[in-house]
Structure 1
Amino acid sequence: MPTTATAHTNIAFIKYWGKKDARLNLPTTSSLSLTLSQFYTTTTVTQNTDKDQLVLNGELADPTRIHHFLNTIRDILGDFPAVTVTSENHVPTSAGLASSASSFAALTGAVTREMGFDLSNQSLSRLARRGSGSASRSFYSHFAIWHAGMDDASSFAESLNAPDMPIALVVAEVSTSAKKVSSSDGMQRAITSPNYDDWLNRSATQFMDMQSAIQQSDIEKIGTLAEENALAMHALNLTARHKPFTYFTQETQQILALVSDLRRQGILAFATMDAGPNVKIITTLNDAPKIVTALHSALPYIHLETATSGSGITYD
């Protein structure tokens, strides 16, 4: 029988941006994220006797990346037959909304179960990290931490035991097109910035401060730290010595300016961005509709969606 898994995207409030070991996908920093309810990937794995195949959103797709990833799992856990991976992605692909996180988490969970491996989420997070670093965090509901670690065994994700709070994200989808600079390429460029070491040191402090803010359910502090961390990350891209670049578009800049204006009006609104032009606005359930109204008035053609805290991986 085929095995189906569903995993949600996560948005990092403290970012991972740079690798100290590309082969093992070990990050230069620990990171912390919130799993989102509205964006997810459902993946079904079926054994076959031919070769690894990928059906993405109803169409045959290039299986090269997932074949390489599946071979990595085979090397670690032991050989298993070829599989057909059928994936429905309810996230814009490669647009900075963490589609790879939900995709590789769902694939890792489905294929290991299909092959009879009974693994903990922590062990699954290590495997998924080899396909997409941020996927390590998508096994957990609410808040999750990915420890940078020093080797394969110590670089894993785990749930952050956090209180419930009325946190929400307003997602402004500036573009659903694939980004021109991939995350991997962007990281390689960013680490050439003269400010990179300073960002690493500051990020380590923010990582600890963010955990304290979450335990106190201080959404204003959470948002402040997340915005500082994200904007400093994107500044690295602009100051890279090797091929500087930016993911920002004109609409991105308009939204960032509007977020600042809303905050001056007393509305809790803080921006965070991953590798792409889309902006996620950290706020409360109470203030989210006000932000949506303001954004819709200023940019009526931008798709907006309010996301809340999501669940960890599930299986059918």
Structure 2
Amino acid sequence: MKATAHTNIALIKYWGKKNTELNLPTTSSLSLTLDKFYTTTSVEPANHDRFILNDQVVDATRVHRFLDILRQQLGDFTPLQVISENHVPTSAGLASSASAFAALTGAVTHELGMDLPKEELSRLARRGSGSASRSFFGNFAMWHKGIDDASSFAESLNAPELPIALVVAEVCDAPKKITSTEGMKRAITSPNYDRWLSKSANQFIDMQHAILDQDIDKIGALAEDNALGMHALNLTATRSPFTYFTDKTQLILSLIQDMRHQGILAYATIDAGPNVKIITTTQEAPKIVTILNHAIPSLKLEIAQSGPGISYD
């Protein structure tokens, strides 16, 4: 059985865990699924669990551990060979684990003959990667933080498709030095963390209204404020402060401000990594690409739009 799931970019971020075993987040989050970045995964019976990523056999402890979690949740099943093609730069802040664990969850459950609701699939995938809970849904999705395993799940916002686009500026595709898990552990030591949680809860509600009102300018402004607030936590952590930003990240942020001053709709959102996603409209996106290409000729740029939910072959 083969499943394809697309990555998603959180417009309202998840950054911190209140239960590491269950992957329960400290914040609810809201994302846009992207068409350009995805993972296709197939599973088949084998003599032992085996993981092949992009044609290379990989000793992935995280995948093996997740398969054992699925066995606990779904009932024991025979060893599987997992073959995965990842069309997302890994560990560079483009949510490669989201599409990867969503595709794996879908492939395993369908191999077992289970046709589970997407909300249930989101609970299962959350144990492998929190962001994966949102990748089962196309367009906009919400992940409710919940208070336990049953109440922490994702669902579609059921919003209309908007002429929204993301210009993805790939600053670096190398694995990041500080993993998301480690970054969250440090961030929660910031004296500003509780204030960010409270603000994020309000932004989660405001973002839903902005999307339903089809106000892309408001969507961008909320997303940028939420993202920059998240990254400020990393800098103010009392335990080993850090940043994912590079000089090129900072330059792109400055260019985005310049574009706004010129009347171009452009807002930044950045996950755990140096890469910048610029929220704009499908009409303005080519103009932004031209400006960035002129300012930073070596920059790799792609335009992504709203993507679909999980699919099966």
* Secondary structure at 1:139 match in 2: coil
Q: TM-score w.r.t. structure 2 length?
A: 0.99
Which residue of the partner structure matches residue 47 of structure 1? 45
Output the amino acid matched with 1:51: H
Output the amino acid matched with 1:287: E
Separation (CA, whole Å) in 1 of partners of 2:287 and 2:175: 30
Structure 1 residues 273-303: Cα deviation after superposition (integer angstroms, max 9, x where no partner) = 0000000000001100110000000111010
Is contact 1:10-1:101 (8 Å) kept? yes
**2:203 aligned to which of 192, 201, 206:** 206
Separation (CA, whole Å) in 2 of partners of 1:104 and 1:277: 22
1:233 shift after superposition: 0.1
Which residue of the partner structure matches residue 144 of structure 1? 141
* Secondary structure at 1:212 match in 2: helix
Is contact 2:164-2:305 (8 Å) kept? yes
Work out the number of aligned pairs and report it. Answer: 313
Output the amino acid matched with 2:32: L
Which residue of the partner structure matches residue 27 of structure 2? 29
Tell me whether 1:269 sits opposite 2:266 in the alignment.
yes
1:164 shift after superposition: 2.0
* Secondary structure at 1:306 match in 2: strand
Structure 1 residues 109-156: Cα deviation after superposition (integer angstroms, max 9, x where no partner) = 001110122211110000000000000000000000000000000000
**1:10 aligned to which of 3, 8, 11:** 8
Q: TM-score w.r.t. structure 1 length?
A: 0.99
Separation (CA, whole Å) in 2 of partners of 1:15 and 1:126: 18
Is contact 2:161-2:306 (8 Å) kept? no
RMSD: 0.5
Is contact 2:223-2:269 (8 Å) kept? yes
Which residue of the partner structure matches residue 294 of structure 2? 297
- Runs (5+) with no aligned partner, structure 2: none
* Secondary structure at 2:244 match in 1: coil
- Runs (5+) with no aligned partner, structure 1: none
Which residue of the partner structure matches residue 134 of structure 1? 131
Structure 1 residues 165-205: Cα deviation after superposition (integer angstroms, max 9, x where no partner) = 10000000000000000000000000000000000000000
Tell me whether 1:283 sits opposite 2:280 in the alignment.
yes
* Secondary structure at 2:249 match in 1: helix
Output the amino acid matched with 1:6: T
Output the amino acid matched with 1:290: K
Which residue of the partner structure matches residue 81 of structure 2? 84
Percent pairwise identity: 68
Output the amino acid matched with 1:44: S
